[in-house]
């Protein structure tokens, strides 16, 4: 079968707006063939477009013979255009179908396909990711990415409304902001550069100009760990604000979360139904547990943790059991567990003004108040074994009037996992990058 030209054919209707009240109206629809059922005198073809499905029904009585022949030879997932007449019929899905007059084959699918996009045949995640485009044609991934889109637009709406401006900071950088171990090096002409792990230092500098900034960006970490919550490339929503502390930005974080949840329940019910999930419920303010309380909770539940230690994956798993269906903050972490830019609390340097937003076992966000005095910054860098000379440009900003400030970085992919109760980060990322996957 040969592929035809689009010519002057243009879509008149998406599938979703072809409804029984259009009975008798001529329409042009485009899409991909999801399914074909050939009963001889009658052929049903399910066409899928970005809005949903519409049934195309060819019959010996109403459809030209050459169109019937064409329908018989079409392959599933081919892209086609159909000109035909809408027919209201109760037995058809959604009570409506299109009787084709003419069909154009616009893009052929060659068989066998590596997986079945109707989802009737189960496929493991690696098989699905290898054929990700076909996989994305299944209703569930489509629903996930529509929800993801809505989450991103809700975040932008909310932060814009609060007076933040969106910024874009460099992704090719000269020095690490989040520790050297997890940097991806890049050949940069005659020198060595790295892929950005976060916009941390830039966003802190920018609050001395714009006061309230945010960035939704792609970041890179060369972590070797292969887990269900880490990727080597991920999206973070970063916020930074001047003249506030970590309490203020925690409030911003939870208000934003409530806004996103409201938006999804108002505008994404169809997708949530496809995914069969109920959104998590939250009551504000979210609980704020001190790190020391978390240590007690873990020890009471049989997990040995000394004050000062960072939480391991198995500690998080225990926390997940204690805090089922709960979004909560862990605050006031030991200073040693946090990066150099986080501000130690009051006179004590033992704990710092840091927090994580958690959902059950999963860390969604980390943030805190920042070191805003140059001398303290130099001291913190040295304590963490970093050379202040490598941070010359950042330290210079402190000479131009660095106010107290605070902010956070929210893992967008992890937020999706929590909202949709999905256990593997790869399900919520279009083309995930991990140690073993660089394609497609």
Give contact residues for ligand AMO (rule: CB under 6 A).
178, 198, 200, 221, 223, 230-231, 234, 236, 238, 363-368, 407-409, 411, 413-414
Please report the sign of the dihedral spanned by the C-alpha atoms of residue 291, residue 295, residue 300, residue 302. Answer: positive
Cα 255 to chain center, whole Å? 19
C-beta of 417: minimal distance to ligand AMO in Å? 9
> Closest separation between CB of residue 414 and ligand AMO, Å?
4
Nearer to ligand AMO, 58 or 407 (CB): 407
Minimum distance of ligand AMO from residue 315's CB (angstroms): 16
Q: Report d(CA 199, CA 215) in Å as an integer.
A: 8
HSE-up (13 A, CA, CB side) for residue 327: 25
Which of residues 70 and 426 has its CB atom nearest to ligand AMO in the complex?
Answer: 426
Query: 295 vs 428, which CB is nearer to ligand AMO?
Result: 428
Q: How far is the CB of 370 from ligand AMO (least distance, A)?
A: 8
Token pair of 183 as six digits: 């940097």
Report how far apart the first and last C-alpha atoms of the chain are (Å, whole number).
28
Contact 360, 252 (CB under 8 A): no
Task: Give 128 or 414: the residue with its C-beta nearer to ligand AMO.
Answer: 414
Min dist CB 267 to ligand AMO, Å, is 24
Measured CA to CA, the distance from residue 118 to residue 94 in angstroms comes to 18
Q: Which of 195, 238, 204, 260 is nearest to 366 (CA)?
A: 238
Name the minimum Å distance from CB 409 to ligand AMO. 3
Q: Among residues 212 and 221, whose Cβ is nearest to ligand AMO?
A: 221
Centre a 10 Å sphere on the Cβ of residue 51 and count the other Cβ atoms it contains.
13
Residues 6+ apart with CB under 8 A from 137: 32, 34, 48, 77, 117
Closest contact distance (angstroms) between CB of 182 and ligand AMO is 8
Q: Which is nearer to ligand AMO, 212 or 414 (CB)?
A: 414
Give the whole-angstrom CA distance, residue 304 versus residue 327: 23
By beta-carbon proximity to ligand AMO, the closer residue of 46 and 236 is 236
Bridge-partner residues for 290, per DSSP?
331
Q: Are 150 and 267 in contact (CB under 8 A)?
A: yes
Q: How many CA atoms lie within 13 A of 167 on its CB side?
A: 24
Contact 95, 20 (CB under 8 A): yes
We find the least distance from the C-beta atom of residue 247 to ligand AMO, in angstroms, to be: 15
Q: How many residues does the chain have?
A: 440
Cα-to-chain-centroid distance, residue 251 = 22
CB of 177 to ligand AMO, least distance (A): 7
Tokens of 299: 């020890």
CB of 136 to ligand AMO, least distance (A): 20
CA distance 182 to 195: 10
Strand, helix or coil at 413? helix
Q: How far is the CB of 165 from ligand AMO (least distance, A)?
A: 17
Comparing CB distances to ligand AMO, the nearer of 72 and 435 is: 435
Q: Using CB atoms, what's the residue nearest to ligand AMO?
A: 411
Residue closer to ligand AMO, measured from CB, 30 or 202: 202
Alpha helices (runs of H) in 20-117, residue ranges in sequence order:
65-73
72 neighbors 58 (Cβ within 8 angstroms):
no
Burial class (CB in 10 A: 0-12, 13-18, 19+), 436: exposed
Cis bond leading into 440, ω under 30°? yes
Nearer to ligand AMO, 81 or 407 (CB): 407
């Amino acid at each position: 079968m040969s592929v035809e030209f689009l010519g002057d054919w243009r879509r008149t209707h998406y599938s979703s707006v072809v409804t029984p009240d259009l009975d008798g109206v001529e329409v042009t629809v485009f899409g991909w063939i999801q399914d074909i059922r050939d009963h001889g005198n009658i052929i049903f073809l399910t066409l899928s477009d970005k809005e949903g499905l519409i049934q195309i029904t060819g019959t010996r009585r109403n459809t030209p013979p050459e169109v019937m022949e064409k329908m018989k030879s079409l392959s599933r997932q081919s892209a086609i255009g159909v000109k035909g007449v809408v027919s209201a019929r109760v037995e058809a899905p959604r009570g409506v179908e299109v009787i084709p007059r003419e069909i154009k084959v616009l893009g052929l699918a060659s068989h066998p396909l590596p997986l079945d996009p109707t989802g009737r045949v189960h496929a493991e995640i690696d098989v699905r990711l290898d054929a990700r485009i076909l996989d994305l044609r299944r209703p569930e991934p489509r629903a996930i990415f529509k929800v993801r889109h809505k989450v991103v637009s809700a975040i932008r709406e909310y932060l814009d409304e609060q007076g933040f401006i969106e910024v874009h900071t460099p992704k090719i950088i000269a020095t690490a902001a989040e520790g050297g171990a997890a940097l991806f090096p890049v050949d940069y002409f005659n020198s060595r550069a790295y892929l950005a792990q976060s916009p941390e230092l830039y966003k802190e500098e920018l609050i001395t100009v714009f006061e309230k900034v945010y960035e939704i960006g792609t970041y890179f970490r060369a972590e070797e760990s292969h887990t269900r919550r880490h990727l080597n490339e991920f999206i973070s929503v970063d916020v930074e604000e001047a003249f506030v502390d970590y309490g203020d930005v925690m409030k911003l974080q939870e208000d934003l979360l409530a806004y996103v949840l409201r938006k999804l329940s108002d505008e994404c019910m169809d997708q949530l139904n496809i995914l069969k999930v109920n959104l998590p419920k939250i009551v504000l303010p979210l609980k704020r547990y001190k790190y020391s309380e978390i240590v007690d909770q873990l020890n009471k539940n049989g997990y040995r943790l000394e004050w000062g230690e960072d939480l391991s994956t198995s500690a998080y798993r225990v926390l997940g059991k204690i805090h089922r269906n709960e979004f909560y903050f862990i605050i006031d972490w030991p200073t040693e567990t946090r990066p150099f830019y986080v501000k130690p609390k009051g006179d004590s340097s033992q704990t710092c003004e840091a927090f994580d937003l958690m959902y059950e076992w999963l860390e969604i966000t980390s943030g805190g108040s920042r070191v805003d005095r140059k001398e303290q910054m130099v001291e913190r860098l040295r304590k963490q074994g970093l050379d202040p000379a490598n941070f010359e440009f950042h330290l210079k900003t402190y000479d131009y009037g660095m106010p107290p400030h605070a902010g956070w970085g929210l893992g967008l992919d992890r937020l999706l996992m929590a909202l949709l109760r999905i256990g593997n980060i790869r399900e919520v990322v279009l083309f995930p990058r991990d140690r073993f996957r660089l394609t497609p």
